[in-house]
Amino acid sequence: MKKIKLIKKHSHKSSLWLNRHINDEFLLKSKLEGFRSRSSFKLIQIDNKFKIFNQNKLNILDLGCAPGGWLQVIKRLTNYKKSKILGIDKLIIKDINGINFLQRDIFENKTIEEINNFFGEKIDILLSDMSPNTSGNRSVDHLKIVSLIESVLDVSELFLKKNGFFVCKIFQGGAQGELMDRISKIFKSIKYFKPQASRKESPETYIIAKKK
């Protein structure tokens, strides 16, 4: 594929970023395939390796789902008409036919009640591709990351069934010590995976595990 060259003058640093962004392989592929974000390919690659969508009928919860790229993948890879699928985010997303969306702060008590009312039973898959808003202060950002993952773990303990799949974004240095101890108590078959669609310079990776 022929690369696009920028004509307008920018600083060297911003030009590098813009060129990388414009010529990003997975950004271009996402547009070609109708996905809302390049992160859709992260979930596709996770499923290719771990086969998380391997049942006919599934209860699936996608936390922090905006703009909806992972929900699009779920619809393509599952029998969504027989499954219960719910995406939640504080940001509104465009409707995806056959997929349920709740605009809500994920960790409010009311949201937990609505998740319970929607499924009415334990869920098979819990997904989280969430990232905290960063400040640039490593110590502060580390605490934000840990707090976010702790909250996702709270939801997993409430709703994920035994042997249910847990897929959660973490960051280098963001899952250590007490947090890892807690993860090991909740889950088994814990794997770490960095999809090809994750940028090399990004500190993100994913935990893929099963509930004990």
Which residue type, as a one-letter code, is found at position 61?
L
The active-site residue, picked from 169, 191, 194, 211, is: 169
CB 206 within 8 A of CB 49: no
Q: How far is C-alpha 23 from the chain's CA centre?
A: 23
CA distance linking residue 204 with residue 132, whole number of Å: 12
Enumerate residues 6+ apart whose C-beta is below 8 A from 36. Answer: 30, 67, 68, 69, 72, 94
The dihedrals phi and psi of 95, each to the nearest 5 degrees, come to -60, 145
Residue 51 annotated among the catalytic residues of the structure: no
Q: Which among 90, 145, 96, 88 has a CA at the least distance from the CA of 114?
A: 88
Q: Which among 163, 142, 143, 166 has a CA at the least distance from the CA of 154?
A: 166
Burial of 132 per CB tally in 10 Å (0-12, 13-18, 19+): middle
Q: Tell me the catalytic residues.
A: 169
